[in-house]
């Protein structure tokens, strides 16, 4: 692996200033800072930034300047860290990010970058003029773009964006589009989205998921699971449950480097007219190498999971044989399934109840998620723990901060590898795993006997 020169890295790190805007997930911010800045047991509050409040509750952050630290932020790139959590609303976190950006610019920061592990209101990206379902609602994603620009935020980096449309709003609000394009904007236009990428960047996770599946998942670690990765993945199928999911599924297929993996495209699940407890799912396309789902493992992979209702019904439909709602053709019943979602929304404040519902009603061998919402690490419903894996991404975010400071494109840095071994060598350093002792990886195994130490008292 080619490594950047030490002096180049040192110069970049000397420009980086870390600013976590909430105490809720301070430990994750510390991990990012330690790995990004190369300092163990780092004291962020006294060395970089204190997200303090006045006694009346108003957010009043303070950068650690003077008293042995630099007198200003001149020459510094300030990275504001936004981690969603259950104790502060997305609106409060957005406001805190903007106040922090103002403080950074008031203290002469060269550049301000918001690193939001999950972009707030990403699912509210349409207004009433574009979508009749949004009548009476705002396009909150675009409003965020306008607010971030007014606050002095120069770039926004997120993890696994909900839709590429959001970058179009940044192109418009940051005045990156020409007069003709701005007068009649189409958020779905690739040209407008490309302009917005100068400001709004999304770190893709399909290659990291592929690396996990190949090297660490149940399929890689269980003897009986290995058959699904054998023969070029001939017993593996990737399922896109709606149109918006297809790009990620296609990218995941390429990153698996398994030439015989099959793919299925579905249209969005709808409630069955004769039974509201069931769903009907049209299957609109299958890959040329697809024959049946029988004796295969199917993989669902999307950006997030909320209440789990549609997923539960879709899996129930799959267990009944994947009968296409349009043609009546049955596509087979898989042996098992793995379910991946980057953002564990889990119904917000009701996340424990949603986990209970999912694990009790959604039969899957393994649930894979990430720590874009860090509290999911430590607040899991006890039976959900037995089948869940959390991919920890502090190292990835630290790497992205350094890469962005060096001028590398974080949208292409973590994908597009030429070979699986090259991909594994690079990405395996950028994530860690959290599993629990009562875990699917050790199911059906006889526990090893340990030596019993019992001493007599003389």
> Final residue of a domain: which of 203, 230, 249?
203
> Final residue of a domain: which of 203, 229, 246?
203
User: What is the residue whose two structure tokens read 């395996």?
Assistant: 428
Give a yes or no: residue 18 inside a domain. Answer: yes
Number of domains in the chain: 2
Compute φ and ψ for 78, nearest 5 degrees. -90, 125
Q: What is the pTM of this model?
A: 0.93
Helical spans, DSSP H, in 185-288: 190-196, 206-215, 218-221, 246-256
- Classify residue 347 by burial, with Cβ atoms within 10 Å: 0-12, 13-18, 19+: middle
Identify whether residues 182 and 301 lie together within a single domain: no
The DSSP H or E segment spanning 105 is: helix 90-106
Identify whether residues 120 and 261 lie together within a single domain: no
How remote is the C-alpha of 310 from its chain's centroid?
A: 20
- State residue 140's pLDDT score: 96
Compute φ and ψ for 200, nearest 5 degrees. -105, 115
Identify whether residues 273 and 363 lie together within a single domain: yes
Identify whether residues 137 and 44 lie together within a single domain: yes
Give a yes or no: residue 453 inside a domain. Answer: no
Q: What's the number of CA atoms in the CB half-sphere (13 Å) around residue 234?
A: 5
The conformational region for residue 332 under phi > 0 = left, psi -120 to 50 = alpha, else beta, is left
Q: What SS3 string covers 438-457?
A: CCHHHCCCCCCCCCCCCCCC
- State residue 436's pLDDT score: 80
429 DSSP assignment: G
Give a yes or no: residue 399 inside a domain. Answer: no
Q: How far apart are CA 146 and CA 137, in angstroms?
A: 17
Give a yes or no: residue 458 inside a domain. Answer: no
Q: How far apart are CA 35 and CA 91, in angstroms?
A: 29
Identify whether residues 60 and 97 lie together within a single domain: yes
Identify whether residues 140 and 268 lie together within a single domain: no
Helical spans, DSSP H, in 239-326: 246-256, 309-319
Identify whether residues 335 and 374 lie together within a single domain: yes
Identify any residues that bridge with 299 across adjacent strands, giving them in sequence order: 238, 338
Identify whether residues 254 and 165 lie together within a single domain: no
Give a yes or no: residue 446 inside a domain. Answer: no
- Which one, of 346, 319, 339, lies nearest residue 331 by Cα? 319
Q: Rg (Cα) of the chain, in Å, rounded?
A: 24
Identify whether residues 97 and 217 lie together within a single domain: no
Q: What's the number of CA atoms in the CB half-sphere (13 Å) around residue 102?
A: 12
**3-class DSSP assignment, residue 156:** strand
Q: How far apart are CA 438 and CA 383, in angstroms?
A: 9
Identify whether residues 236 and 337 lie together within a single domain: yes
Give a yes or no: residue 403 inside a domain. Answer: no
- Which one, of 236, 286, 230, lies nearest residue 261 by Cα? 236
Q: How far apart are CA 295 and CA 292, in angstroms?
A: 8
- Which one, of 350, 439, 349, lies nearest residue 89 by Cα? 349
Identify whether residues 115 and 33 lie together within a single domain: yes
Identify any residues that bridge with 201 across adjacent strands, giving them in sequence order: 157
CATH number at residue 144: 3.40.50.2020
Give a yes or no: residue 413 inside a domain. Answer: no
Q: How far apart are CA 90 and CA 303, in angstroms?
A: 18
Give a yes or no: residue 103 inside a domain. Answer: yes
Q: Which residues contact 281 (CB under 8 A, 6 or more apart)?
A: 241, 266, 267, 269, 270, 314, 317, 322, 324, 325
Identify whether residues 176 and 158 lie together within a single domain: yes
> Final residue of a domain: which of 203, 226, 253?
203
Q: Which domain holds residue 106?
A: 6-203
pLDDT per residue as tens, the chain (458 positions): 566 777 889 999 999 999 999 998 999 999 999 999 999 989 999 999 999 999 999 999 999 999 999 999 999 999 999 999 878 899 999 999 999 999 999 999 999 999 999 999 999 999 888 888 889 999 999 999 999 999 999 999 999 999 999 999 999 999 999 999 999 999 999 999 999 999 999 999 999 999 999 999 999 987 777 899 999 999 999 999 999 999 999 999 999 999 999 999 999 888 777 777 788 899 999 999 999 999 999 999 999 999 988 899 999 999 999 999 999 999 999 999 999 999 999 888 888 899 999 999 999 999 999 999 998 766 788 888 889 999 999 999 999 999 999 999 999 999 999 999 999 999 999 999 998 866 777 666 666 677 777 777 76
Q: How far apart are CA 410 and CA 417, in angstroms?
A: 14
Convert the pLDDT of each residue in 369-386 to its tens digit. Answer: 999 999 876 678 888 888
Hey, what's the torsion of the CAs at 342, 340, 265, 290, to 10 degrees? 140
């Amino acid at each position: 692996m080619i490594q950047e020169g030490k002096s180049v890295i040192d110069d970049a790190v000397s420009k980086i200033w870390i600013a976590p805007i909430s105490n809720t997930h301070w430990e994750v911010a510390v991990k990012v800072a330690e790995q990004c800045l190369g300092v163990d047991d780092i004291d962020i509050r006294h060395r970089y930034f204190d997200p303090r409040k006045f006694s009346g509750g108003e957010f009043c952050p303070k950068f650690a300047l003077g008293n042995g630290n630099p007198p200003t932020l001149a020459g510094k790139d300030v990275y504001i860290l936004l981690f969603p959590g259950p104790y502060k609303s997305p609106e409060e976190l957005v406001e805190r990010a903007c106040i922090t950006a103002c403080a950074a610019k008031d203290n002469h920061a060269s550049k301000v970058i918001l690193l939001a592990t999950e972009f707030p209101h990403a699912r509210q990206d349409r207004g009433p003029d574009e979508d009749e379902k949004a009548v009476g609602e705002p396009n909150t994603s675009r409003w965020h773009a306008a607010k971030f620009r007014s606050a002095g935020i120069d770039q926004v980096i997120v993890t696994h964006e909900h839709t590429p449309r959001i970058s179009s709003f940044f192109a418009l609000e940051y005045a990156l589009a020409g007069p003709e394009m701005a007068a009649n904007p189409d958020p779905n236009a690739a040209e407008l989205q490309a302009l917005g990428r100068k400001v709004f960047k999304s770190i893709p996770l399909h290659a990291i998921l592929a690396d996990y599946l190949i090297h660490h998942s149940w399929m890689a670690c269980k003897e009986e699971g290995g058959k699904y990765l054998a023969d070029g993945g001939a017993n593996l199928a990737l399922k896109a449950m709606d149109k918006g999911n297809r790009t990620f599924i296609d990218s995941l297929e390429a990153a698996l480097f398994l030439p015989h993996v099959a793919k299925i495209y579905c249209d969005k699940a709808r409630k069955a007219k004769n039974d509201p407890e069931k769903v009907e799912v049209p299957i609109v396309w299958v890959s040329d190498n697809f024959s049946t789902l029988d004796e295969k493992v199917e993989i669902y992979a999307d950006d997030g999971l909320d209440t789990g209702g549609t997923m539960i019904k879709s899996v129930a439909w799959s267990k009944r044989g994947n009968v296409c709602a349009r043609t009546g053709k049955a596509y087979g019943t898989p042996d098992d399934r793995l379910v991946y979602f980057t953002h564990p929304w889990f119904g917000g404040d009701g996340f424990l109840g949603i986990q209970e519902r999912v694990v009790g009603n959604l039969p899957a061998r393994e649930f894979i998620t990430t720590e874009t919402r860090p509290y999911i690490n430590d607040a899991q419903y006890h039976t959900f723990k037995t089948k869940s894996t959390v991919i920890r991404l502090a190292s990835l975010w630290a790497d992205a901060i350094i890469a962005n400071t060096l001028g590398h494109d974080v949208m292409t840095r973590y994908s597009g590898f030429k070979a699986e071994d090259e991909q594994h060598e690079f990405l395996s350093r950028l994530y860690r795993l959290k599993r629990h002792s009562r875990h699917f990886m050790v199911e059906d195994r006889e526990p090893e006997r340990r030596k019993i130490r019992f001493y007599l008292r003389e």
